[in-house]
Amino acid sequence: MEVTDIETAVLGSAVDAASLPAQVGARELEISSVVVRIHTDEGITGLGESFYRSEENNHFLAESIEAMGRHVIGKDPRDIKAIWHELYLHVKRAGAYGALSAIDEALWDIAGKNAGLPVYQLLGGQTSEVNAYATFPADKTADELTEYAEWLSAKGFEAMKIGAGFGIEEDRNRIKTIMDEIPDDFGLAIDANTSYNVTDARAVAETGSEYEIEWFEEPIAHTDIQGQAELNKSVEVPISGYQTHTPHYPALDHLKANALDIYQPSLDYVGGITGATRVASLVEAFNKEMVPHALGPAINYAASLHVAAASRQCELIEFAVLDDDVDDPGRYIAGPYVENQDAITCRMVDESIHRVNRASA
């Protein structure tokens, strides 16, 4: 089998831009993406996907994928590891991790279709049930978020993640207000998007520890491994991160330093399925947790589900609820290019793992 052609398509977002509030400045996130199709001489086409934070930037990503794709033409797409490492030699200098990730996902899709098996079985099979927590990146007050927490809990989510980084007192107040009112079996996590220094992050984390929130995500600069380790050692709330890192190699430095309790690789950036499964193996060796960062479009989300299912340290995955004006927040909102988007819901994660490989562009 040989790769004969690679093509890309920039897709518009199926939902309005989401607001990601933080002390570093509010950011708008568009769930636009680039789909890559890798064609073979045996008629099998693999799909992969990555995305930047705007449709405009995704046109540059598409050009990057096409440039990297030239190195794949004529190769056997089943030689995934060899192709990954060849591309990595280029990527580590050019920084084109989104391109590497999308191509890798498409190669795994080809492998699954060629074998007639879902990808998670090629990765070793399902190891546990994977449940969902809701990321709710909406600019709401603490009282409003309390109401939404009840809504999300009733729809089957285990927890809700909200933005942080509004300042120490505001974040503390939001934690207290929400945790005092939400259902007992429903959790709260916060994400500061690297807004704080160690001292201020510790002040927020102490309140998070007192109220036993699920985790404190990216409290400080993701490059400050020593600061993360210091924070992780001094507070009870688990410190999480790694979605901003590429590929799996930096995970070893974090693990040796005990910098994080929860690792959140993002498949669209960490090097696709190959990169994420390697993070999972390292995390397992150090007995930490993995919760894939999956705030993104449907094909990439499907790939994330397969990795989650095959990872022993993973029992939870992110599910973005980008619209608060829907009847069912657990229904995946995708564009018409996905034939079976109803298969991906927060209450059907296990079955969707068997079905997402039928999503097509």
Question: pLDDT tier at 20 (50, 70, 90 boundaries)?
Answer: low
Structure tokens at 275: 């990169």
Which residue, 292, 285, 287, 198, is CA-closest to 243? 292
Average pLDDT, the chain: 89
The pLDDT, as a whole number, for residue 330 is: 77
Catalytic-role residue among 245, 248, 293, 306: 293
Average pLDDT over residues 52-80: 94
Question: pLDDT tier at 31 (50, 70, 90 boundaries)?
Answer: confident
DSSP string spanning 300-323?
HHHHHHHHHHT-TT--EEEEE---
The pLDDT, as a whole number, for residue 91 is: 95
Is 50 exceeded by the pLDDT of residue 85? yes
Within the chain, strands assigned E span 3-11, 18-20, 27-29, 33-40, 45-50, 131-135, 159-163, 187-191, 216-217, 239-241, 262-263, 289-290, 316-320
Is 60 exceeded by the pLDDT of residue 168? yes
Among 21-35, 50-64, 201-215, 225-239, name the one with the lowest average pLDDT: 21-35
Write the pLDDT tens digit of every residue in 36-49. 999 999 999 999 99
Which residue, 263, 286, 287, is CA-closest to 275? 263
d(CA 269, CA 303): 12
**Parallel, antiparallel, or unpaired: how do β-strands 33-40 and 3-11 relate?**
antiparallel
**Parallel, antiparallel, or unpaired: how do β-strands 131-135 and 27-29 relate?**
unpaired
Question: pLDDT tier at 354 (50, 70, 90 boundaries)?
Answer: very low
The pLDDT, as a whole number, for residue 324 is: 77
Is 60 exceeded by the pLDDT of residue 150? yes
What structural domains and CATH numbers belong to the chain? 3-116 (3.30.390.10), 121-358 (3.20.20.120)
Average pLDDT over residues 16-36: 69
Question: pLDDT tier at 271 (50, 70, 90 boundaries)?
Answer: very high
Q: Tell me, yes or no, if 293 is annotated catalytic.
A: yes
Contacts of 132 (CB under 8 A, 6+ apart): 156, 157, 158, 316, 317, 318, 319, 330, 346, 349
d(CA 254, CA 288): 11
